[in-house]
Every structure is written in C-alpha cells, then in structure tokens.
Structure 1
Amino acid sequence: MFSILFLCTANAARSQLAEALVNQCYGQHFTAYSAGTQAKAIDPRTLQTLSKQGLSCQGLYSKSIQQLEQTLQQTEANKVSFDFVITLCDSAKQECASLPTGAAILHWNLADPAAQPGMDLFTKTFADLKQRLAEFVKYNRPSGSALNIAPIDVFKQFSDNTRLQILLLIEDEQRLSVNQLSHALAESQPKISRHLALLRECQLLSTTRQAQQVFYHLNPELPDWVAQTLSTTRLANPGYINQPLARIRQQVASKSISH
C-alpha cells in the first residue's frame, strides 16, 4: 500500500477532488491525503462535484501540511512520510523544499476551479484528475510480480540500434530464435547472441526451450511502463523494422516450400 499527499494552495478544491478519487477508486493500492500551503474552507462546489460523480464527501476537511502531519503523528510512531507527493499548482510546487524527504515528487499544474464562477471548471478539473490518476496508477501501483528495472538500464539497451531492433522484432513476433534474428538483421549468430545476453542480463528478455531450440521473448514480468514504451515505439515507427521482418517472412516461406 502506497501513500500519496496531494498539495495545493487552499486545499479547497483540486487536492480534495484528488484525495476522494484515489481513496474511493484506487483504495486497494493507495491511501491518499490532501493539504494546503494556506488552507481555507472547502469550496461547496467541490462537494457538489464529488456528489455528482457518485463519490462520497465523508471525511474530507481542509487542513495545512502541519495540521495533517500532527494528525497522522498521533497514530504513527515515526516521522510522517509519503511515498508520493503530487503538487497541483505552481504555488504549492515552491513548497517542495519543506516536504517530507524521500518522497517521489510530481507536479501537475491545474487551474484553480474555485477562482472562477460556476461549475464548468470544476467538472473539467475532475475529468483531468481522473485521467491523470488512471495513468499514474497504471504505472505506480504496487505489484508483487513486476520487475524493478532502472530507467537508465532500459534506455541503455534502447540506445543500441541492434538491441532495439531485436526488442521490436520480438515485441512484434512474440518469440524468435538466434537463427531467426541473425537472418533478419543480417548479422552473425555470435554477435546476435552477445546482444541477447545483454538483454537477458538486464531482464528485458526471457527464454523458452522447444526441443533443441531456444526462443527469446519479452520477460512476462516487465513493468507496464517498459512494455508500453516498446509498444509505443513500434507503433510510432512502423517502418523501422520493415527489412528485418521481410527477411523473417521470406525465411518462413522458404521453409514451408521445402517441406
């Protein structure tokens, strides 16, 4: 279970909406809190927006960071800390120096709906938060199976043309052997094997054996962000592996004819 602190200036609208959204939609993975750098009363339109969206307003109240920490310290023996701190306005962003250490900090600069009349900006802010939080949860929810791979290790592999082509070919074809990759990329088998060893070492690839042949495939425990990066790269660059794919198709066709 991860904890998130949503921080804005008044803790009257944006951070309250975010707290309610997380606790009621993603409560199995996260516990959300909200606070303000200059806390004021909750805007009644915040409660109207939540009610309209079918979410409860129970337990919501406006508070400063200091008040929140004092409340939490009553139930926690150690110093209060959060796994994530998400600031929702530029003013709150400036307070990052005083935030709990060790937290991963994100900044989403959203217009203050309380500063404008009517409900339109509240509705827009809620929709924006809902979309951002769905994406955030997708990549940051606790997982007992996904690997913890450092971004630098992933992008080191992506920076080499041969290894990137190998990854995209396997992403496209599901599984390939050294022989198939060597033929597709017009490279020697020892060279392809060295690249595959590096990709296995950083856990991007796994292997399965069929009879005497070893096939390489994407590690089924890849974090979502890595798999999504590969998929997006493939979709956004459809011609990048055209030639290697054509060679694989030719190889498969010639084997079918010979049999």
Structure 2
Amino acid sequence: MPQIYFLCTGNSCRSQMAEGFARQYLGQQWRIASAGIETHGLNPRAVQVMAEKGIDIGQYHSKLIDIDYLNSSDLVVTLCGDARDRCPVTPPTVKKQHWPLPDPAQAQGSEAEILTVFRQVRDEIERRVQALV
C-alpha cells in the first residue's frame, strides 16, 4: 500500500487539511499522515473551514515528523518552504513534491478576512490532493 506524508512547519493548518482531504479522496488505498518540524497544536480555524467541506479534522493533533514513517513513504509533500528546507534527508526512493502555500495562520484582518485566507488555502490544497488521485 503506498504511503504519503504531508509536512509543514507546525502541523497545525496546511498539513492537517491535506491529511483530511487525502483521507477523503485517497481513502483506504493509501497510508496517510501529516506532521511538522515543530508542533503548534491544531488551529481551530482549520477545523472550522474543513467542517464546511464536510471533513472533520477536530480529533487530529499536531505531531512531530516520524523519521521511520518519513523514510518509508512513497511520497512526501511539503506545504511550506520551512518544512521543505528543514525536512530531514530522505532516501532517493522517496518522491517529493513541494506545494508553496501561504500560512493561513499568519493572515491578518477581520475574522471574515482571515477565514477567507483559510478557505483559499483549503481550496488549493483540495485541488492538489485531487490531482494525486
């Protein structure tokens, strides 16, 4: 069974959303996980905008990169430059993709403006995960 790993800095937004979409679109055909180079906790706005798509990530939690899982993955997707640059070295058998997406947790403005950024990032992640299918 192929294995995919979604990585970002804190495993709080982008990689969690990617994991949620992958579980929906790739389902039982893949082993799916996400992690960060640090743990920042699950962002409640990520949970909120994923729920709008009918995907519950509310029980997910922020995790550090598991080197064994990383090295045994078929595909590693980094969702920010920090994760790409600081990700541990992987064997040449591990395919890598980089999705340079803005960090919605850094969005500023009113709550509506911040949620708009979260939705834009969410929708781009969904498109990219669907393209993996």
Q: Which residue of 1 aligns with 2:111?
A: none
Quick one: distance in 1 between partners of 2:22 and 2:130?
A: 9
Matched residue pairs, number? Answer: 127
Match for residue 45 of structure 1?
45
Q: What CA deviation, in whole Å up to 9, does each residue of 1:28-52 have, x standing for no partner?
A: 3222211111221111101101111
Within 2, Cα distance between the matches of 1:35 and 1:100?
15
Q: Deviations over 1:118-177 (max 9, x none)?
A: 20111001110111111122xxxxxxxxxxxxxxxxxxxxxxxxxxxxxxxxxxxxxxxx
Larger relative helix fraction: 1
Structure-2 residue corresponding to 1:120: 116
- 2:132 maps to 1:132: no
Q: CA deviation at 1:58?
A: 5.2
Asked if 1 retains the 8 angstrom alpha-carbon contact of 2:107 and 2:117, the reply is yes
Alignment partner of 1:84 is 2:75: yes
Q: How does 1:156-171 map to 2 (within 5 A)?
A: none
TM-score (norm 1): 0.46
User: What is the percentage of aligned positions where both structures have the same residue?
Assistant: 33
Give structure 1 stretches of 5+ with no counterpart.
73-78, 138-259
Normalised TM-score (structure 2): 0.86
Give distance in 2, aligned partners of 1:108 and 1:87. Answer: 6
Paired residue secondary structure (1:28): helix
Cα distance in 1, alignment partners of residues 89 and 39 from structure 2? 16
Instruction: Look up the match of 2:35.
Output: 35
Tell me the CA shift for residue 81 of structure 1. Answer: 1.2
Structure possessing the higher radius of gyration over alpha carbons: 1
Distance 2:86 2:4 in 1: 16
The residue type paired with residue 5 of structure 2 is L
- Aligned-partner residue type, residue 83 of structure 1: D
Cα offset for 1:4? 0.6
Q: Deviations over 1:11-43 (max 9, x none)?
A: 110000000100122213222211111221111
Which letter maps to 1:3?
Q
- The 2-side partners of 1:99 and 1:16 are apart by 22
